[in-house]
């Protein structure tokens, strides 16, 4: 369609604005996915590792001894089971593991985060695929006239929701790292009490590797979009109306990808039994 006719009808504005909103949000997501927690917010990282973690570690060390005593009393008071050497060995192993995790927790958690970041970077090494055509044909013009405002709102809403989801992951990582000693101190409490430590480990693994699942969703989702006729018109009369399908599929896939990314943590929990 001639540019003067697009300007006359004003149909290109919704396309450009919606595309700009989505592309801007995807650029932010791409930058965030390649950032580590310490480089994303150095002040927050220093506060977590230099203030909150040592403070929680001092509390966790005391709680570890208390839970160790509680675990021993629970086991010794169980008349169905005798106090055996194996019980003492198991209890001491848990105490040693708990102390090791508290002392070297920051380093271990950083290694996991770094590994997940490298995996997501490898997936997204070619960047995020584009979603939109450079040409606005008669079909796209008709679609923009009908769905123009809705198109812009969907682009803004879906793009912002994905950015919030990625940012929320980093916030969860900071909180999980700060509270790690408190949760891991329960590992010496025996069956029942140690479920808190297990729940923390599952939450940490889910949050860490969620960024890899998000990268895979964006990559595969972009390939799905490109394989569904998101190409410029070839010049035939029928191709003038292919843009209508392109606009509808653009809105559909933005909603689809946002929903998939919002459910990425649930996917990890169900697939790897991290619930």
Residue 127: predicted pLDDT: 64
pLDDT at 95: 86
CA-CA distances (angstroms) from residue 245 to 85, 133, 138, 254, 258? Answer: 71, 11, 11, 14, 20
pLDDT value for 12: 53
Predicted local confidence at residue 5, as pLDDT: 46
Q: Find, among 124, 264, 122, the residue nearest to 206 by Cα.
A: 264
pLDDT at residue 91, rounded to an integer: 81
pLDDT score recorded for residue 162: 93
Tell me the CB-side half-sphere exposure of residue 3, using CA atoms within 13 A. Answer: 1
Question: How high is the pLDDT of residue 145?
Answer: 67
Segments forming the whole domain that contains residue 96:
3-271
* Residue whose structure tokens are 């459910």: 263
pLDDT of residue 82: 64
* Sequence-separated (6 or more) residues with CB below 8 Å from residue 55: none
Which residues in the chain show pLDDT less than 50?
1, 4-9, 134, 229-238
Contacts of 57 (CB under 8 A, 6+ apart): 102, 105, 181
Q: Provide the pLDDT for residue 4.
A: 45
| pTM summary value | 0.81
Residue range 185-236, pLDDT digits in tens: 998 887 778 889 999 999 999 999 999 999 999 888 877 776 654 444 444 4
d(CA 222, CA 254): 10
Q: How many domains are there within the chain?
A: 1
pLDDT at 258 (0 to 100): 92
Q: How far is CA 60 from CA 54, 65, 93, 174, in A?
A: 10, 9, 17, 17
């Amino acid at each position: 369609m001639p540019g003067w006719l697009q300007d006359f009808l004003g149909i290109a504005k919704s396309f450009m604005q919606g595309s700009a909103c989505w592309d801007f949000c995807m650029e932010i997501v791409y930058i965030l996915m390649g950032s580590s927690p310490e480089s994303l917010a150095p002040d927050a990282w220093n506060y977590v590792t230099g203030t909150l973690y040592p403070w929680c570690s001092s509390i966790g060390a005391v709680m570890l001894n208390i839970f160790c005593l509680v675990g021993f009393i629970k086991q010794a008071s169980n008349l169905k089971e005798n106090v055996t050497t194996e019980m003492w060995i198991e209890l001491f192993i848990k105490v040693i593991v708990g102390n090791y995790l508290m002392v070297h927790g920051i380093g271990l958690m950083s290694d996991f985060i770094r590994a997940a970041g490298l995996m997501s970077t490898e997936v997204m090494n070619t960047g995020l695929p584009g979603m939109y055509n450079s040409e606005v044909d008669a079909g796209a013009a008709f679609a923009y006239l009908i769905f123009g405002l809705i198109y812009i709102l969907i682009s803004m809403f879906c793009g912002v929701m994905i950015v919030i989801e990625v940012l929320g992951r980093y916030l969860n990582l900071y909180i999980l790292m700060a509270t790690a000693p408190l949760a891991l101190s329960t590992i010496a409490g025996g069956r029942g009490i140690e479920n808190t430590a297990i729940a923390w480990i599952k939450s940490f693994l889910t949050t860490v590797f969620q960024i890899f699942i998000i990268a895979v969703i964006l990559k595969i989702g972009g390939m799905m979009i490109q394989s569904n006729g998101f190409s410029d018109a070839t010049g035939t009369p029928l191709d003038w109306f292919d843009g209508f399908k392109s606009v509808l599929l653009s809105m559909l896939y933005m909603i689809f990808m946002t929903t998939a990314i919002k459910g990425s943590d649930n996917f990890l929990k169900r697939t790897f039994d991290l619930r």
